Structure 1
Amino acid sequence: MFTGIIEDLGIVTNLKNEQDNLHLTVKSQITSELKIDQSVSHNGICLTVVAITEDSYVVTAIKETINKTNIGDLKIGDIINLERAMKLGDRLDGHIVQGHVDQVGICEDIREDNGSWLFTFSYDSSSGNVTIEKGSATVNGVSLTVVNSEKNRFSVAIIPYTYEHTNFKYFKIGSKVNLEFDVLGKYIQKLYEARL
């Protein structure tokens, strides 16, 4: 379980395919605090640490993860958002984030807005995922409040701190992002569909 508050930006230093799996090596300032078997969110994808060196660690993504996220598009040198799992009893500064990406979205628009930024993302709504204004959504692991909500797109406002301390500053129109929709909203949507 995560909060969507990014702790560090990691750098992808190696990618290795082994059968259907993808092993990522990530250089990070939090490496010294990690341990093997620990869950870490990588652009919103919960992955398990399987090896640690001095300033880098390795995680493995299976075929299911590669198919449902943008992890297969990563290249050496890419910057990714990192968050360790929350501790029981800590403040929940973001919202409840599972680290289970629902689908990939596309950055459709980026606008500077007098000291902040407005990012708009589109997604395939046929899978039943929804957003609501002032509800929560997670983009590349970042906990955000939805500003504008439509059937297959939504916008979020990004403050300067978030822009500087996440990989939002590297997004371009057309960038693929990992989306995790609000867990309570997903349950309500399923219950609603079942009653119809």
Structure 2
Amino acid sequence: MFTGIVTEVGNVIAIADKGDKRVTISCAMDPARIAIGASIACSGVCLTVVEKGGVAGEAWFAVDVSGETISRTAPAQWQAGAPINLEPALRLGDELGGHIVTGHVDALGEIASITPEGGSLRVIIAAPPALAPYIAPKGSITVDGVSLTVNEVADQSDGTCHFALNIIPHTAQITTLGQFAPGRQVNLEIDVLARYLQRMQSLSRQA
């Protein structure tokens, strides 16, 4: 489990074909504290560490990424040089600073627009119809592994929805969100509580 609070931005430094893709990511973590088999959220995708090396501040770890995972996540993150939002798995006793995040991407969204607003960025993301019922104003959503609060939701005639986010300067600086551009695809994970509420409502309507 994760919280959507990114600890650092790593970079993809190598991609090798081993049946699955073995992706090597640079990071500033202490490799002594990275266990083989540990889970790390990589731009919102929960992946398992299979190799590690380097020293604290100049470390790296490798993960195996299946074709299924690649087909269901933002393609830009699976390229050499791509920046990756990193978050180690939550430990018992850690502060829950964002919201409960599983690291399982529900769907891809697309950046519709980015507008400066004060010192922040107002970002509009288009979400597919399957996710529209789970996105609500003041609710939580994970975008490329970052826990964010939805400001507004505008349902579209084709069943999709556009939702607005406010990206403060700090978030833009310490995550990849400051590098967003219109047309970019992003990993979306809906709030697990919204998922259960929607399921309960659908069952009550059938009763």
Q: Deviations over 1:120-152 (max 9, x none)?
A: 111211356521100000000000000011332
Cα root mean square deviation, aligned: 1.5
TM-score normalised to structure 2 length: 0.89
- 2:185 corresponds, among 176, 180, 185, to 176
**CA displacement at 1:51 relative to structure 2:** 0.4
In structure 1, distance between residues paired with 2:76 and 2:174: 23
Q: Find the counterpart in structure 1 of residue 27 from structure 2.
A: 28
Q: What amino acid is the match of 2:122?
A: L
- 1:185 corresponds, among 194, 199, 202, to 194
Q: In the TM superposition, what are the counterparts of 1:45-124 in structure 2 within 5 Å?
A: 45-54=45-54, 55-71=59-75, 74-124=78-128
SS in 1 for 2:2: coil
**CA displacement at 1:162 relative to structure 2:** 0.3
In structure 2, distance between residues paired with 1:192 and 1:62: 34
In structure 1, distance between residues paired with 2:183 and 2:67: 24
Q: What amino acid is the match of 1:92?
A: L
**CA displacement at 1:18 relative to structure 2:** 2.7
**CA displacement at 1:35 relative to structure 2:** 1.6
**CA displacement at 1:7 relative to structure 2:** 0.3
In structure 1, distance between residues paired with 2:89 and 2:184: 26
In structure 2, distance between residues paired with 1:50 and 1:129: 37
**Once the two structures are aligned, what percentage of the paired residues are identical?**
37
Q: 1:37 to 1:180 in 2, by over 3 A?
A: same
**CA displacement at 1:29 relative to structure 2:** 0.3
Report runs of 4+ in structure 1 exceeding 3 Å deviation.
126-129
Q: Deviations over 1:94-132 (max 9, x none)?
A: 000111110111011101101111111112113565211
Alignment size in residue pairs: 195
Q: Which has the larger radius of gyration?
A: 2
